[in-house]
Amino acid sequence: MTGPARRYQHAAIAGAIVLAAAAAGSAAQHALVPACLFGLGVLVLTEAALREHRRLKRRRLEADWTRARALGHTPAPLTPCCLLNGHAEDIHDQNCTSGHTLAAFLDRIEQQHRRDE
């Protein structure tokens, strides 16, 4: 479950470290343009590592939540309830931890359609 995400995170961290060393070496030799470009690469790879960390953390939280549901507990929905929440108004992910499901969404649309007829 966590293998590829962890590898991507570690690769991005390693790349950021290498580019940071290259930026420092370029700056020490007064090559400012390559140093700035290496610095931009550091920023991009650092953001990629942080994104993978957030994704991995969310997957772990979802797995714990699902495990608790399978054991018969009723855990509170995660915050945000899914990855799409907050980005789209009424759209929820298939891994949504609240009561929003595709079936419930379709039922609500059908009820609205019946009322309009």
pLDDT, block means (10 residues), the chain with 117 residues: 80 98 97 97 97 92 88 83 70 70 71 79
Return the C-alpha torsion angle 88, 90, 95, 100, nearest 10: 160
Give residue 50's pLDDT: 95
Cβ atoms within 10 Å of 46's Cβ, excluding its own? 17
Q: Are 80 and 92 in contact (CB under 8 A)?
A: no
What phi and psi, each to the nearest 5 degrees, are found at residue 38? Answer: -65, -40
Q: For residue 77, what pLDDT is reported?
A: 80
Other Cβ atoms within 10 Å of 110 Cβ, number: 10
Model pLDDT, residue 98: 75
Contacts by residues 55-64 (CB-CB < 8 Å, ≥ 24 positions apart)? 55/5, 56/2, 56/5, 56/6, 56/9, 58/83, 59/1, 59/2, 59/5, 60/2, 62/95, 62/97, 63/1
pTM of the prediction?
0.71
CA distance linking residue 73 with residue 69, whole number of Å: 5
